[in-house]
Amino acid sequence: MAIERFQLPGSEREIRADAQAAGRADPFEVIEISVLLRRRRSLDLSEHPEPIGREEFESRYGADPADVERLEAFAQTFDLTVVDISLPRRTVVLSGTVASMNEAFGTRLDVYHCAEGTFRGRSGPLYLPADLEPAVVGVFGLDNRPQAQMRCRRHLPIAGAAAAAPQTSFTPPQVAALYHFPNGVTGAGQAIGIIELGGGYRTADLKTYFTGLGVTLPLITAVSVDRARNAPVGDPGSADGEVLLDIEIAGAIAPGARIAVYFAPNTDQGFLDAITTAVHDTVRKTTVISISWGGPESTWTGQALTAMDQAFQDAAALGVTVCCSSGDDGSSDGVSDGRAHVDFPASSPHVLACGGTHIVDTNGALSSETAWNGGAGAGATGGGVSEIFALPSFQQSAHVPVSVNPSHFKGRGVPDVAGNADPATGFKVHVDGQDVVFGGTSAVSPLWAALVALLNQRRGAPLGYLNPVIYPVGSKVCRDVTSGTNGAYKASAGWDPCTGFGSPNGSGLITSLGSKRSAATQTG
């Protein structure tokens, strides 16, 4: 008897334009996928003026065990194995052969080649049995194409040449001093989660770096997600550069914080699972998360956009601040269709989107700052207006323009804040035995994450969801950046789609946010 099915909303995929077909996927290959279930009840952040505990969160907003039972019956019908169940993450991991997955989800998996390697792909929507509607929010891992790009750039003054000293370079503590980060706190009692989709680190490099700075080496833990692991390649130009940049900036500014590095595959499944694992980690208990990977909104499925944004809502309810890099390719975000694009997950209204600047230091003081734009091929700060997420309530008075695209969509403006990102004024880091200089908005996410850890310690309570808190006092807590461009947009007084409210004003942040008080909880 034929099974009545429904089309899973947002599951439609297209084959990458640069992908070359290489035949059908092996029907006997066993793969693992993640199925995301709905919340037991809808989450309204306005109901939580204070962070909710993880156990209470699970009981109120985790997956409904009845939905899990329905999914288990589905798995039995199609010869799939239940590998793992997490009620707070609302995630059920299933394994089975490609042939079984094709039948279970009404799809066809093929093999493709692209510049990043070989992947398993599909096109069109997914179809599930009608009794799972609307319990299932998304299905991830059938298609394992590379999903995101790292947002760091090594300083190379001449293309192809060996790295040389930039115009000026800084250690993370030097940048923190320029921005007047609070003194007398180290981030003690805080846990910084860092999401990585490739590469790795060696403890020897970290010991060398922190010894050179005269800073105590933080407690750093590598956490495996979806079988990925800490796997350094041995080349600073690889994802190793991203990993060490993130750890060394966060750790050098907040050495008292514990750092957990969540390594996951560079797929939509891996990215989502890393975020939900970090948000709901009952062992590390993260208070702030830094994400330096992303991709243009147009490259994500609707289900992935929804699922990840929901994960960031979870973080907001739990009092976890999430900082995301806004991209390194200006207003195009690396897309060559002539239109403006913003980077996701930075475009989620529930994260602090971090743009980039170029700084000028005069005798240890910040004398000027402009939007980062290195010119053709040298990178520029990402920013603009979302084509997916509507203008959130916290940006109603920020004078966010409509999109410059033909849609003229009135969307979420990106970024919210900024910081030093130009590789020409970049950060000194130590990667794979080499002293190198990196920039990119990848540097800004851990910079702000470390600042949040310091403020959390000073306040004695987590800042949590920062956007509704920062926007009413943006001019007081940020140093306005009023010149420069990222292509389609220009920096200007007040909030702008290049640098948001600007770079951190540590003294203003201490005054406005340094004492314990309830964070605003507008959902946007």
Residue 268 sits at the vertex; the CA angle it makes with 67 and 220, to the nearest 5 degrees, is 100
Joined tokens for residue 432: 């794979």
| Choice among 58, 67, 226, 246 that is catalytic | 246
Q: Which positions ≥6 away from 187 have C-beta within 8 Å?
A: 253, 254, 255, 256, 257, 450, 453, 454, 456, 457
| Distance (Å) of CA 31 to CA 26, 101, 109, 173 | 11, 9, 11, 44
Residue 391 sits at the vertex; the CA angle it makes with 389 and 392, to the nearest 5 degrees, is 95
Which amino acid type is present at position 116? E
Which amino acid type is present at position 361? D
Residue 158 CB coordination number (10 Å): 7
Q: Report the distance separating Cα 523 and Cα 519, nearest Å.
A: 12
Which amino acid type is present at position 486? N
Concatenated DSSP letters of 31-92: EEEEEEEPPSS---GGG-SSPPPHHHHHHHHS--HHHHHHHHHHHHHTT-EEEEEETTTTEE
Phi-psi region of 27 (alpha: psi -120 to 50; beta: other; left: phi over 0): alpha
| Choice among 331, 442, 445, 503 that is catalytic | 442
| Choice among 143, 196, 242, 333 that is catalytic | 242
Which run of H or E residues covers position 23?
strand 20-24
* Residue 442 bears catalytic tag: yes
| Distance (Å) of CA 396 to CA 25, 39, 221, 247 | 48, 28, 40, 35
In 297-443 the beta strands, taken as DSSP E runs, fall at 321-325, 343-344, 352-362, 365-371, 384-390, 411-414, 417-420, 427-431, 434-439
Contact 328, 141 (CB under 8 A): no
Q: Report the distance separating Cα 92 and Cα 500, nearest Å.
A: 38
Q: Which positions ≥6 away from 266 have C-beta within 8 Å?
A: 146, 147, 148, 197, 198, 293
Q: What is the 3-state secondary structure (H, E, C) of 162-194?
A: CCCCCCCCECHHHHHHHCCCCCCCCCCCCEEEE
| Distance (Å) of CA 96 to CA 33, 142, 266, 424, 436 | 9, 11, 21, 49, 44
**H helices, E strands: number in the chain:** 12, 27
Contact 325, 333 (CB under 8 A): no
* Residue 56 bears catalytic tag: no
* Residue 496 bears catalytic tag: no
Q: Known catalytic residues?
A: 242, 246, 442
